Amino acid sequence: MGENENMASLSLDQHRAAVEALLAPLSLVRVTESISLSAARIAGAPDVYRHRVLAEDIASPTDLPPFDNSQMDGYAVRSAELAGATPDAAVRLRVDPQINAGDSISELEPGTAAPIMTGAPLPTGADAVVPIERAIPDHFRSTGDAEDSAALTVDFTAVPHSDEFVRRRGSDVARGELLLTAGSALGPAQLGVIAATGLTKIDVLRRIRVLLVATGHEIREPGTPLRPGQIYDSNSAVLSQALIECGCTVVAWPCRSDDAADLLHIIEKGAPTADLVITVGGVSAGAREVVRDALGPLGVEFSHVAMQPGGPQGLGLVEAPGHPDGIPVVTFPGNPVSALVSFEIFVRPILRRLAGFARTERETLRLPLAVAVESPAGKHQVRRASIDPDGRVRLVGGPSSHLLHSYAASTALVHLPVGLGHADAGDPVDVWRIDD
Amino acid sequence: MGENENMASLSLDQHRAAVEALLAPLSLVRVTESISLSAARIAGAPDVYRHRVLAEDIASPTDLPPFDNSQMDGYAVRSAELAGATPDAAVRLRVDPQINAGDSISELEPGTAAPIMTGAPLPTGADAVVPIERAIPDHFRSTGDAEDSAALTVDFTAVPHSDEFVRRRGSDVARGELLLTAGSALGPAQLGVIAATGLTKIDVLRRIRVLLVATGHEIREPGTPLRPGQIYDSNSAVLSQALIECGCTVVAWPCRSDDAADLLHIIEKGAPTADLVITVGGVSAGAREVVRDALGPLGVEFSHVAMQPGGPQGLGLVEAPGHPDGIPVVTFPGNPVSALVSFEIFVRPILRRLAGFARTERETLRLPLAVAVESPAGKHQVRRASIDPDGRVRLVGGPSSHLLHSYAASTALVHLPVGLGHADAGDPVDVWRIDD
């Protein structure tokens, strides 16, 4: 799990391209699943809708809006009947019964204007709405008035054009037109327009399912007793959350042993319901490296990437139940900082693209260093940092890959590329924001 | 629900400040709740951990790392014993039994070097680790070799400094030190460092609980039959998802009636388990406006904000069971585009700040318009748009607030401020990215 170096070396870009090639087929084999859609379910089971992507184009099953309706509170009129209306020569119409949102579609009698509320159906015969504030009087009179509503009149001092303040049936989307395209991420507006059509079931892409295997004879489940020399498994929590935030589902199945047979058992049992295996630890130059021992003979290739942390990396296709062409396996080093940096650089952008995120890469800023820094010139070093109020980037903790506490206090990653051995305070560096 | 205008007018900033003041107390009354923490739960119940914020500082219950351990695969040594080692004058030590990660803490006998794996406990007496590739030979020999392991030796050609490649106990965080501060958002590194200490229960802020009441005689649940003049309720889906994405919990309880008593019943029943009520619809100039009719007499103030869409707005504190000082109520207009734009501008940044998001505001770009646009100079107009590959912003659909389909096809909102009546193609405008 360490940063030892006596193996073939790759550049960061070379390994990233290799992971990309390994995972590319995941976009081709995506299974569709139906989810039912209701506001109660969105509110009550929000995880069902988190980071979802439409599997297929949806054609609208209905016109939206489904009927001509009023854009304003006002009067539905025949615009031709107001021809010639001016402030000096108002046109007077009798007031029809009021049309409320939710009423069925009525008929506008000639010579009348119907009080109409926003969203209420335009009566047959009407072709325009005059907003209440442009009518005389400029307020609605209750039918409970002493006056008989049939005797009410309203004056208009301008001619509306036809369709004015009318939302025509199908003007947002017509029945049969494309409502949403395959690949659309489902946010508020997308879920809303589906609801507006009345659809209650949609086909979405099944999430990428990851079998996450933290390894090591020394790791124990938090909350259980530790003997000296043992540590709590933090990688399962770190990477479960990181994967969830990429729209994946995760089975976290640690291998608390250095026995290759135990790891192979986990992969055999977990592979049928997984699309991807990520292992953590057991890939370094040590004498007992469970991932290397178990998966090297099955075709996983291990190499050293010229980066720090996260040097020891591996990948390959492993024959497994349910995967006739092999299941993709990506292996990370075991220090939690190394594992999370590896995930950030090699896997996160790919999984987010597969999940349909618009933003697959971290926001990158170019910021001056608050303090000078040394970096191994032969490696791409990634440091944890925060951003000062004045916009300088300040390293948090040292380069060592066990400093997860420092990582947790950071809001940024600083990239010190190959060839950079020293940078002064004030020198600009590439910074990824990781605080969203 | 319309855009009529005969009421008191506020600027966008004035109303935003009023909503901010109304919701400010929500940050003071936040209830703490315990959640249990395990990788299995993160993977199996991810919604529990979505957008969570620590309620209290956590002091580390343990040193991290919990014991001195090796940063490398190599040999644990007493650095003083290698004094004088050079390539020409190697120092030879006997090889001790190998120390693996997970082994208990052993003792390094004088005159020996112990093969040690990354993460394995440093033996008592050792003060440095020499990486395997700097030893001679530069690989570990199996104890299964023909040679007796007790007879093995290893040569060193350089003097390590004390502590070299050793991770000292407590060097990431010491027992009793601050592990995470109250208000920390819980992402992968934060959940991981908690797991590393063995903690399995943490106190987090309870989510802001929103009672969401879409109103209108005309709205029906998607999937049920519609009579002419009725529409499906899209606002409940739109705003449920928008609220979930701000870290809230939501009870979506539509009021499919224009009867004030029905709305008051919902608020009375829903208020005891809510921190905030958001209503949609029923706030305009119409003759039957359920929200205005029900809540106006209880102190909610309605006004017209000089923006389009989203003009008719309201807010206030309403006496309700469980809320001796009143529950905050924010009322949006009923067109789905108006409701979602209102949410974006007036509520989303506040809820995200309360939820502990680092990014509370939408990313704002200044981009040239692809096509000329007209805007009512007296209002702040918000239009839906997409961003062309060349970086120009292109409006999607018209300004009308019923065009939810256009909203769903958009990735940006364009702001056309008060005073701007016309902008030409190429003119720069403020653009919010809404595609994340």
CB distance B356 to B185 below 8 Å: yes
> How high is the pLDDT of residue B1?
39
Q: Is the pLDDT of residue A59 over 50?
A: yes
Binned at pLDDT 50, 70 and 90, residue B27 comes out as confident
- Shortest distance between the Cα of A293 and any Cα of chain B, in A, equals 14
What integer is the mean pLDDT of A35-56? 93
> How high is the pLDDT of residue A286?
67
Cα A194 from Cα A180, distance rounded (Å): 9
Fold exhibited by the domain B39-65+176-205: Molybdopterin biosynthesis moea protein, domain 2 (3.90.105)
- Shortest distance between the Cα of A357 and any Cα of chain B, in A, equals 7
What integer is the mean pLDDT of A114-123? 94
**Which residue matches tokens 């017509």?**
A174
Closest-CA residue of chain B to A226: B198
Tell me, yes or no, if B143 comes closer than 8 A to chain A by beta carbon: no
Taking CB atoms and an 8 Å limit, are A71 and B184 in contact across chains?
no
CB-count burial class (<10 Å; 0-12, 13-18, 19+) for B241: buried
Q: Which residue in B105, B171, B236 is closest to A229 by CB distance?
A: B105
> How high is the pLDDT of residue A8?
64
Fold exhibited by the domain A35-64+174-205: Molybdopterin biosynthesis moea protein, domain 2 (3.90.105)
Q: What angle do CA B204, B206, B208 make, to 5 degrees?
A: 140
> How high is the pLDDT of residue B145?
47
Tell me, yes or no, if B158 comes closer than 8 A to chain A by beta carbon: no
| Structure confidence by residue, pLDDT tens digits, A350-395 | 999 999 888 899 999 999 999 999 999 999 999 999 999 999 999 9
> How high is the pLDDT of residue B146?
43
Q: Is the pLDDT of residue B341 over 50?
A: yes
- Shortest distance between the Cα of B326 and any Cα of chain A, in A, equals 24
Q: Do domains A9-28+207-355 and A364-433 have the same CATH topology?
A: no
Give the percent of chain A with pLDDT over 90: 89
Q: Does domain A9-28+207-355 have CATH number 3.40.50.1000?
A: no
For domain B69-167, the CATH superfamily is Molybdopterin biosynthesis moea protein, domain 3. (2.170.190.11)
Among A residues 373-412, those touching chain B with beta carbons less than 8 Å apart: 397, 400-411
Cα B323 from Cα B109, distance rounded (Å): 70
Helices (H), A303-347: 336-342
Tell me, yes or no, if A35 comes closer than 8 A to chain B by beta carbon: no
Give the architecture (CATH level 2) of B364-433.
Answer: Beta Barrel (2.40)
CB distance A365 to A413 below 8 Å: no
Chain A, chain B: beta-carbon pairs less than 8 Å apart: 427
Give the percent of chain B with pLDDT over 70: 95
Q: Is the pLDDT of residue A7 over 70?
A: no
Q: Does domain B9-28+207-354 have CATH number 3.40.190.10?
A: no
Q: Which residue in B229, B287, B336 is closest to A102 by CB distance?
A: B229
Closest-CA residue of chain B to A121: B229
Q: Is the pLDDT of residue B6 over 90?
A: no
Q: Is the pLDDT of residue B30 over 70?
A: yes
Among B residues 215-274, those touching chain A with beta carbons less than 8 Å apart: 216-219, 221-223, 226-242, 244-245, 249-252, 254, 258
CB-count burial class (<10 Å; 0-12, 13-18, 19+) for B49: buried
Taking CB atoms and an 8 Å limit, are A119 and B334 in contact across chains?
yes
> How high is the pLDDT of residue A1?
38
User: Chain-wide mean pLDDT for chain A?
Assistant: 93
Complex prediction ipTM? 0.92
Q: Is the pLDDT of residue A3 over 80?
A: no
Taking CB atoms and an 8 Å limit, are B138 and A6 in contact across chains?
yes
> How high is the pLDDT of residue A150?
61
Contacts of B104 in chain A (CB under 8 A): 227-229
At residue B410, φ and ψ (nearest 5 deg) are: -105, 155
Token representation of residue A429 = 């560096």
Taking CB atoms and an 8 Å limit, are A66 and B231 in contact across chains?
yes
Token representation of residue B391 = 């970086």
Sign, Cα dihedral of A135, A139, A144, A147:
negative
Binned at pLDDT 50, 70 and 90, residue A120 comes out as very high
Token representation of residue B431 = 């653009």
Q: Is the pLDDT of residue B180 over 60?
A: yes
User: Chain-wide mean pLDDT for chain B?
Assistant: 93
Tell me, yes or no, if A436 comes closer than 8 A to chain B by beta carbon: yes
What integer is the mean pLDDT of B45-54? 92
Taking CB atoms and an 8 Å limit, are A191 and B241 in contact across chains?
yes
pTM for the predicted model, two decimal places: 0.93
> How high is the pLDDT of residue B32?
94
Contacts of B131 in chain A (CB under 8 A): 2, 4
| Structure confidence by residue, pLDDT tens digits, B109-135 | 999 999 999 899 999 999 999 999 999
What integer is the mean pLDDT of B423-436? 96
Mutation target to probe the B interface, by most B beta carbons within 10 A, among A41, A154, A234, A383 is A234
Q: What are the boundaries of each domain within chain B?
A: 9-28+207-354, 39-65+176-205, 69-167, 364-433
Q: Is the pLDDT of residue B241 over 60?
A: yes
| Structure confidence by residue, pLDDT tens digits, B50-87 | 999 999 999 999 999 999 999 999 999 999 999 999 99
| Structure confidence by residue, pLDDT tens digits, A426-435 | 999 999 999 8
Q: Is the pLDDT of residue B3 over 70?
A: no
Cα A247 from Cα A258, distance rounded (Å): 31
Helix, strand, coil proportions of chain A in percent (round to 5)? 25, 30, 45
